[in-house]
Every structure is written in structure tokens, then in C-alpha cells.
Amino acid sequence: MCLCGGLAEDNARIILLAVVLAAYMLAGAALFQRLESDLEIRQATEFWRVYHAFRRHHLRGSPLALQRLHELLYAYGNASATGIINKRRRWDFPGSFHFVGTIVSTIGYGSTAPQTTAGKAAVVLYGFFGCSGGILFFNLFLERIITLLAWILRSWHVRRLRRRLRRTTLTSRRISKSSSTQRSFLPDILDDDDHVDLDQWKPSVYWVMLYLSVTSCIVACCAAALYAPLEGWDYFDALYFAFVSFTTIGFGDFVSTQKPSYPYVHWYRFTNFVFLVVGCCCIYSLLNVTSIVIKQGLNYVIHKLQYGNQDVAAPYLPRRQSSVSTVYYSKRRPTRLVGRDSIRAEDNSETPRRMSGEMISMKDFLSANKVSLAVMQKQLYDAAQKQRGGGSLAVTPNHQVLKPGAVGPLAIASEKFESKSTINR
């Protein structure tokens, strides 16, 4: 029974995501209300106890003194909120650089904010271009960190492939009676990188997510180890600050480099800047990859709502093929190698070679400076979706390879400008 009615898949996905986020937010509200409500009440009670005790002992029958006390409390609260007391200067050059860093990175702690009308107007214009450039920088970093991870995983895959080829060669040589016959049917390509066709090899999206998670945790732990002693925070508070900063949530309850003095203050400010940049980039990359996995889960739920337990997508899924078989039979010969992962391949077959559905494309990732974030997201999502049985990878007409910038809002704008410039030429 189809529970989604006549909704398109994209519409069903966004509606399902809205429902899931709403439920997630309601559960989060209930959780934090339970965790923080009692402490809030105790803190309010303690403040009023101190206030009334001070008033009884020092302000008996003096309305003018009580008014001045309220003015003092109000002025102290404003000064503490804006950071002009008990903290370093906000608007010297290091403080101003820290402020624009929170704008460009979209962290926005709130500990420093402009007070003048001209300053607020400058934030609107400066923040527009600054946030745009910051998001672009995060996207480019994401492309290159994925490229690096893909290269590392490809190197490991090549090693495994060569070991498997070596074992297969030794086994075949023991079976064969003549080495010349063996050479004619099983060429040795262990040292011939040109024949190892790995353009379509794809590392698992879950391995990429794991490595990004480990890297982000290492950066956060190292940053917390720096902040805890210099800022006088508990290590967990420093770790909490690192997470809030790296995810650009930026509550502002903890802010680094705000004390009047530090040992080695210039080195500390520089290291703090490096940690914020690297941490934001790593967490941004991790969030993007995680969003693809979440999207895969939404599609799985939609599939279950539409088809129930019927296995609709399974007949259309490609068979898993060994990389050894791919190297030997797609490039060398149509014969069949007996083995656990081997399949039959024919030179005259019209069927394109099928690869494992758990991988993202390597060909685009290893093309220098031609990797598109949108394409990477599309391929990661399609690969994860295919691995879970949600359908086969999208194939463009005439087997055309997706070009960088072919998917996503940035690609749409680029395509419009490109088509316009083409017409003008």
C-alpha cells in the first residue's frame, strides 16, 4: 500500500524530513527542559536571596539608595554582557580580527557586537560577502579533504588488489603444467599500473564518514587540551566549547582569548585561530557527509512506506564484481578465472562493467582542482542509497559522466552564467 499518495519522491522526502526534525526538536526541548530547568530555578532563587539580604542590611528605608542599586545592577549587567569589564579590550586590532573571524566563519558568539549604527550597518554588508566567502572556503576544503581520503583509500585498495593478484597467479601456476601456457592465459600485471583500471573504483561513504569523525575528534581533543589550562576551564567545558565553535553554533557562554592577559598571548591567539579554522572545516565536511547518510535513511523509509516488505529494487541491482576480475577480463581476455569473487566477462558484451554500489567515484576526485562538491554529494548519496538497496546509481543519458558543478544551487547559477556567456560569444 502506498502511503505517500501522489507525492513525488523529493516532496515526500522534504515532508518526512520536516516531520522527523519537528519530532527531534520536540524531544530535544523536553530533554533540555528536564536537564536545565531545575538549575535555572535554583540560580534565580539564589540571586533574589542575595538581593533581599543586601537590601535588608544596607538599604533600610532609603528609596534613593534602592534606585541607585538598581541602576548599578543594570549598568553592571550591560558592561558584563558587552565585555568592557574584567576582560580584554574588544575593539583593538586583535579583538576586531577575532570579531570578523566569527562573522566569516558564521560562529557569531555574541560576546562582541557593534554598538554604533555605522558598525551595525557595516556588519550587514561585510557579513554578506564574508559569509559567502567563508561558505565557499568550507566547500573547497570539503572537496580536497574528500580527494585526500579517496587517494588514501585507493592506495590501500591497490595494495589489496596486488596481493590478491599475486595469490591468484601463484595458485594458477601450481595448477598449470606449463608456464608458457600460464603466461598466455594469465598475464602478469602486478607492476603495470597503466592496466589497473581503477577510475571507477569507489571508497565507501561510511569509511569517509568514519575518517572524518576520527579527524574531527582528534582536532577537538587537541584544542580542548590547549583551552583548558589557558582559559581555566574544565576539560569537558573546553571540549564543549570546541564543539560549539566548530559546528558554528556559537552560544557565547564560553569564548576563548577574552582574558586581559595570557602567557605567550600572540602564539595563543594564532593557535586559537588555526584550531578554529581547521575544526570548522573538518566538522563542516563531516556534517555534509552525514547529511547524505541521513538522506539515504529517509529514502529507505519512503521506500518502505511505498512498497512495504516487497523487494522491488533488488532485481535491478547490479551484481557485485571482483576488482581482480575487472582488471583481468575487462582489459585482457574473455576467459574465466575460477575463484570466489570471479565472474564471466566477454569481450563483445554490450553491457557496461558494473561496480560495487557502496562506493563514490574516484575519477572526479583524482582530477586536480576539478572536483565538485555537488557531484561528490550526489555520488556519495547514490552510492550509499545503492548499497542499502534503494536503487541503482543514476546514469546520465548516453553514459555521460556528470561534470563538476552539475548538481546543486551553486551549479544552477554557474550553468546559467555559462550558457549566457556561450550565447554572447
pLDDT tens per residue, range 204-216: 788 889 999 999 9
pLDDT at residue 272 above 50?
yes
The pLDDT score that the predictor gives to residue 424 is 44
The pLDDT score that the predictor gives to residue 200 is 62
pLDDT at residue 321 above 70?
no
Taking residues 234-260, report their average pLDDT. Answer: 93
The pLDDT score that the predictor gives to residue 93 is 92
Most confident of 168-177, 291-300, 337-346: 291-300
pLDDT at residue 193 above 80?
no
Q: What is the pLDDT confidence band of residue 386, given thresholds at 50, 70 and 90? A: low
Least confident of 29-33, 240-244, 371-375: 371-375
- Torsion sign across C-alpha atoms 214, 106, 90, 70: negative
Of 101, 100, 134, 104, the closest CA to residue 119 belongs to: 100
Taking residues 376-388, report their average pLDDT. Answer: 63
48 versus 200: the higher-pLDDT residue is 48
Which residues in 159-179 are b (16+ Cβ under 10 Å) and which e? Answer: eebbebbeebbeeeeeeeeee
pLDDT at residue 365 above 50?
no
pLDDT at residue 110 above 80?
yes
Q: What is the pLDDT confidence band of residue 254, given thresholds at 50, 70 and 90? A: very high
The pLDDT score that the predictor gives to residue 328 is 38
Most confident of 23-27, 358-362, 405-409: 23-27
pLDDT at residue 309 above 80?
no
The pLDDT score that the predictor gives to residue 25 is 94
Distance CA 394, CA 188 (A): 35
Q: Does residue 214 sit in helix, strand or coil?
A: helix
Percent of the chain with pLDDT over 70: 64
pLDDT at residue 354 above 90?
no
Residues 6+ apart with CB under 8 A from 86: 80, 260
The pLDDT score that the predictor gives to residue 378 is 63
Give the bridge partners for 359, in sequence order. Answer: 204
The pLDDT score that the predictor gives to residue 352 is 45
Taking residues 297-309, report their average pLDDT. Answer: 83
Distance CA 105, CA 137 (A): 10
pLDDT at residue 358 above 70?
no
The pLDDT score that the predictor gives to residue 43 is 93
86 versus 118: the higher-pLDDT residue is 118
Q: What is the pTM of this model?
A: 0.68
Q: What is the pLDDT confidence band of residue 239, given thresholds at 50, 70 and 90? A: very high
Distance CA 238, CA 226 (A): 8
The pLDDT score that the predictor gives to residue 89 is 84
Residue position matching grid coordinates 560495487: 356
73 versus 167: the higher-pLDDT residue is 73
The pLDDT score that the predictor gives to residue 220 is 96
The pLDDT score that the predictor gives to residue 375 is 58
pLDDT at residue 402 above 70?
no
pLDDT at residue 308 above 80?
no
Most confident of 87-101, 182-196, 298-312: 87-101
Residues 6+ apart with CB under 8 A from 198: 154, 157, 158, 323, 362
229 versus 90: the higher-pLDDT residue is 229
Alpha carbons within 13 A on the beta-carbon side of 425: 6
pLDDT at residue 312 above 80?
no
- Mean pLDDT over the full length of the chain: 74
Q: Between the CA of residue 70 and those of 53, 65, 77, 81, what are the distances in Å? A: 15, 9, 10, 16
Q: What is the pLDDT confidence band of residue 188, given thresholds at 50, 70 and 90? A: very low
Q: What is the pLDDT confidence band of residue 176, given thresholds at 50, 70 and 90? A: low
pLDDT at residue 310 above 70?
no
